Amino acid sequence: MLRALLLENLHPLAASILAAQGIEVTTRTGALDESELIDALDGVHLLGIRSKTHVTDKVVAAAPDLLAIGAYCIGTNQIDLTAAAAHGVAAFNAPFSNTRSVVEIALADIIALTRRLTVLDRAMHDGVWEKSAEGAHEVRGRTLGIIGYGNIGTQLSVLAENLGMSVVFYDTAEKLALGNARRLESLDELLDAADVVTLHVDGRSGNAGLFGADQFARMKPGAVFLNLSRGFVVDYAALRDAILSGHVAGAAVDVFPVEPKRRGDAFESELRGLPNVILTPHTGGSTEEAQEAIGQFVSNKMRDYLGTGTTTLSVNLPNLALDQGTGIQRIAHLHRNTPGVLAAVNATLAEHGVNIEGQLLGTRGEIGYVVTDVNSDVAPDALEALAGMPQTVRLRVLS
């Protein structure tokens, strides 16, 4: 019986897809720390997480039964992908499923901040009728500066233009501009131009500390700032100073360097209580529609990896698109990527009288993946020989 552990309150569809394949599924609402996760993974083959649970090298090394990790979110920086690959554990994420949800909350934040809705709302709840147009603007005609022009940045670009905004963007990689958006050559050039600055960068370590006091000082007086990407890319103490000084007119923040692990836990931040600041608990992609789509996408990827060996869109293994096998058995061989592995696999099969029906090989850095369909059951001594190859990381036989 294969077993799956799904953490962090994933959508029920995630569990039902796996359960329909005869997998025993255990679900938990919160995240686990390293020692808790090691204990929980005893005998577990599939792990599903979101952003709070960190899968370290130590965790992977202590979970010999683990075959795949599903990150039911966009980011994968909470997983040691290199360690997972080295132990033959595939990792999958959902790079597109919650894009629209993040874009919509970004647009809502931009309009709310530009109209100072948070300030007016607070005054009304305090019993004060603060009717004034002071500091409130239309978004039409204003310039949106997008830092990170990936899946979210590009869709935000298109919808912001539909609202009448001018769009400029900066990305370290060459990206095709959509609509009338303009690519700028430097971050400083973007900060000089933008009335609204929004971050949509990924979780690579090089983005740590990307935005600090110098960048806030460079922003146009009265501009607003959004971070719906990663908490560690922004110096929030510097953002607090910029807001209190009035240089930055408002901010929306959805991600933080340290976040509570469980719903209902206490939250602390230097941004609490500031005027015209919207704080949300890492819910940029948390709509019911997005969570359902993510649950379906990632669970399907792990299901297909177990059933056919396909690794399409895996973030740490060579990507092979595989259908159902053409032979009687399928041998999936993950190995260290050194010369001669494919020849050794084929020689071993030939020595044991096994005929090959079809074969695919892919490599990714230090990891290779060869999948072989054969026309007969492979004898145990042949499988033992393949598993005993010095380059072998993990061997699976799929019927």
What's the rounded Cα separation, in Å, for the pair 119 and 7? 37
Query: Is residue 230 annotated as part of the catalytic site, yes or no?
Result: yes
Q: Single out the catalytic residue among 104, 161, 189, 259.
A: 259
The single residue listed with the structure tokens 């005609």 is 141
3-class DSSP assignment, residue 182:
strand
Question: In whole angstroms, what is the distance from residue 157 CA to residue 159 CA?
Answer: 6
Does residue 282 carry a catalytic annotation? yes
Among the listed residues 282, 303, 330, 333, the single catalytic one is 282
Q: Which amino acid is at 89?
A: V
Work out the number of other CB atoms within 10 angstroms of the CB of residue 187. Answer: 17
310 phi and psi, to 5 degrees?
A: -65, 140
Q: Which residues pair with 234 in a beta bridge?
A: 211
Select from 384, 390, 321 the least CA-distant residue to 358. Answer: 321
Q: Which of 115, 116, 142, 230 is catalytic?
A: 230
- H or E element at residue 349: helix 341-351
Task: Give CA–CA dist 168/184, Å, rounded.
Answer: 7
The DSSP letter of residue 252 is: E
Active-site residue set: 230, 259, 282
